[in-house]
Amino acid sequence: MFPERTAVVDTTRSPYARLRPIPAGAVRLEGGFWQARRAANTAAGIPQQFDILKARGALENFRRLAAGIEANTEDFVFRDSDLYKWMEAAAYALLDDDPQTAVIRARLDEAIDAVLPAQGADGYLNTYFGNDPSRRFHNIAVDHELYCAGHFIQAAIAHHRVTGERRLLDAAIRFADYLTTVFGPGLRQEPPGHPEIELALVELYRETGERRYLDLAGFFLERIGIADFTRFEGHAVRAAYCAAGATDYFLETGDPRWRDGLERQWDDMVRTKLYVTGGIGGRYRGESVGTAYELPNQRAYAETCAALATIFWNWRLMQIAGEARYADELERTLYNGALAGVSLDGTRYFYVNPLADHGQAEGDPWYPWARREPYQRQTDFPCNCCPPNVERFLASLPGYFASTSDDGLWVHLYDAARIRWRLADGTPFTLTQHTRYPWDGTITLAIEPERAAEFTLYLRIPAWAPAATLTLNGEPAPGAAPQPGRYLALRRTWQPGDRVSLALDMPVTLLEADARVPETRGSVAVQRGPVIYCAEGVDHGGADVRFARLDASTPLVPHFEADLLGGVTVLDGAGWLLADESPPPALYRPRGQRPPDVLRPARLRLVPYYAWANRGPSSMAVWLLLDGSAK
């Protein structure tokens, strides 16, 4: 095991990065919120997904190719990428203490033993197109060949960083070298239709120091033209992967044209196309972000992969200068839009993440194959991109908690954790966080440099916290003025045994959307800390909570329920539910005519959005009509 080398995005030598990675293997999550999520991923999700991929032929495709039986053309063109993402997840999971890691290790080796013999002598590897060079790269915009190559390279880098073994990495290098003989100035000019290869090539450059991989990433990004985009648009996953890859490219090259273009797109996404959960993708057609303010609730697409892609992008943007606005958006997506993509037990997944649902079976008699079951998470999907993507992200999550810079140590995410790493000057330190975050805003940090050392401790003050207080060794910290949406900088000579206590105000906040979002007019979403809440029918006698109204004059009271949904803080309040779900006498009426009395007063309970659909079919709503008067 090589925890020293397990940076998720290795900006250690990136000239335009202020932040330097603290590797995933240097961070132990201990007994808090994320350890439970990661334990379910390692113990149940990752092993189960391997069995599913195997049963679906993902390994067999490689074995057939190695045996000279041509191609898997019955399957999706992107099937290989599912296995590669799983391999990346398995590699990061080996950093855990979980007893399942021995099983995962054996399955990872089984996968590698299936994949490697299928690689062509020239380095090309794709089971759909096989090893006949005449079949390759006919339709680059559609065929996902470069997308699969990108995931292969990422899996290989993770495997090498965690295990120190080179066989997968050497194969990835052969593939990347082959690509440099196919694409580039004077060669094939078409850009990939589904970005992903760009992230992989920049990371391969970081891993090997070979400039040609960085140049090829830049070539693809130039051909796509992303630096000149004025809006964030199109297929949500592709747009965000491309932006993440372009940010990686900027971190190595520093051309301000890239930074400006990315800033325009980020601004457009955050101001007009981002769900309150951090999901993106307001339109089913084309899996697209749609136009500005196109954010339907029940018809939200908000693919899990798209939420993860914005996390990857925000993380890379953070590396440039340590700006907290990117960390705020990363955290929003982490606790809501991304985490909703997996069940509490780690074995069932959402591809599409609606913000409202009726909880009923639905179907179309003229399309008998259309879904009829109520909307629930599934173990896998025909297009199975999301499950292994969640798994690789959760497995690598410790690598997103903290960073160093030339002048200090940065804490981005709060959870019960122990970080053992070294400052820029080489001083080893241990940083221990004690907290019940995200249910409680108090975080105690024990700072243990091996010897007294002067550096700046940067603590993120989330934008959602209206106020924060801080003490140092039990006393008010001199000059410390926490500001929401900023990193608080504490520069001093830190001594072993120093303690910082940060208390973030965590009120229940009712959020309104801009008036241009048609679906949320008159409604509020409820947030406490980083967690967005929803109402579920199962807590309301099966009522359809899409029609619930929240009483603005009754406070929502937080209450921790240890035995509910793995332990969550619920919000208890009051409002109204539909009393009579029989059809109305008329669908429309003249304005001013008194409507039938269909609401009844009721207690309302809100639960974290990420935890919905863990108790069987049920209606759900994030946005609730707000009503201050009795009906």
* Closest distance to Zn ion from the beta carbon of 336 (Å): 17
* Closest distance to Zn ion from the beta carbon of 386 (Å): 4
- Footprint of Zn ion on 286-325 (CB under 5 A): 303, 305
Residue 477 Cα distances to 151, 441, 501, 565, angstroms: 46, 18, 10, 38
- Footprint of Zn ion on 58-97 (CB under 5 A): none
Q: State which residue, 96 or 287, has the beta carbon closest to Zn ion.
A: 287
Q: State which residue, 286 or 628, has the beta carbon closest to Zn ion.
A: 286
Residue 157 Cα distances to 45, 165, 245, 351, angstroms: 22, 10, 16, 26
Number of neighbouring beta carbons within 10 Å of residue 422: 16
- Residue 344 lies near Zn ion (rule: CB under 5 A): no
DSSP sequence for 367-414: BTTS--SPS--BS--SS--HHHHHHHHHHHGGGGSEEEETTEEEE---
Q: State which residue, 303 or 544, has the beta carbon closest to Zn ion.
A: 303
Q: State which residue, 388 or 575, has the beta carbon closest to Zn ion.
A: 388
* Closest distance to Zn ion from the beta carbon of 492 (Å): 45
CB 35 within 8 A of CB 336: no
Write the CB contacts of 143 (distance below 8 Å, at least 6 apart in sequence): 77, 128, 129, 137, 193
Closest CA to 136 of 209, 71, 74: 71
Size of the site for Zn ion (CB under 5 A): 4
Q: State which residue, 156 or 305, has the beta carbon closest to Zn ion.
A: 305
CB 11 within 8 A of CB 69: no
Write the CB contacts of 494 (distance below 8 Å, at least 6 apart in sequence): 447, 449, 452, 453, 454, 455, 457
Q: How far apart are CA 330 and CA 460, in angstroms?
A: 12
* Closest distance to Zn ion from the beta carbon of 158 (Å): 19
Site string for Zn ion, 223-242 (x = CB under 5 A): --------------------
Q: What do you get for the CA distance between the two ends of the chain, in Å? A: 63
- Footprint of Zn ion on 354-413 (CB under 5 A): 385-386
DSSP letter assigned to residue 347: S
* Closest distance to Zn ion from the beta carbon of 565 (Å): 24
Site string for Zn ion, 249-288 (x = CB under 5 A): ----------------------------------------
Which token pair is 137?
Answer: 């790269």
Q: State which residue, 357 or 391, has the beta carbon closest to Zn ion.
A: 391
Q: How far apart are CA 204 and CA 218, in angstroms?
A: 13
CB 303 within 8 A of CB 287: yes
Which token pair is 184?
Answer: 């580039």
The residue with tokens 């967005």 is: 532
Q: How far apart are CA 355 and CA 296, in angstroms?
A: 8
Q: Is the peptide bond before 555 cis (omega within 30 degrees of 0)?
A: no
Number of neighbouring beta carbons within 10 Å of residue 288: 21
Catalytic site residue from 287, 329, 519, 536: 287
* Closest distance to Zn ion from the beta carbon of 381 (Å): 8
Q: State which residue, 130 or 192, has the beta carbon closest to Zn ion.
A: 192
* Closest distance to Zn ion from the beta carbon of 287 (Å): 9
Q: State which residue, 27 or 386, has the beta carbon closest to Zn ion.
A: 386
Q: State which residue, 96 or 391, has the beta carbon closest to Zn ion.
A: 391
Active site residue 242: no
Nearest residue (beta carbon) to Zn ion: 305
* Closest distance to Zn ion from the beta carbon of 200 (Å): 17
Q: State which residue, 10 or 380, has the beta carbon closest to Zn ion.
A: 380
DSSP sequence for 203-221: HHHHHH--HHHHHHHHHHH
CB 498 within 8 A of CB 451: no
Catalytic site residue from 148, 305, 385, 386: 385
* Angle at alpha carbon of residue 577, lines to 576 and 582, rounded to 5°: 140
* Closest distance to Zn ion from the beta carbon of 28 (Å): 29
Active site residue 383: no
Closest CA to 333 of 275, 294, 386, 288: 275
Write the CB contacts of 367 (distance below 8 Å, at least 6 apart in sequence): none
Number of neighbouring beta carbons within 10 Å of residue 584: 11
* Closest distance to Zn ion from the beta carbon of 393 (Å): 12
Name the residues that contact Zn ion, by CB under 5 A.
303, 305, 385-386
Q: What amino acid positions are annotated as catalytic residues?
A: 287, 385
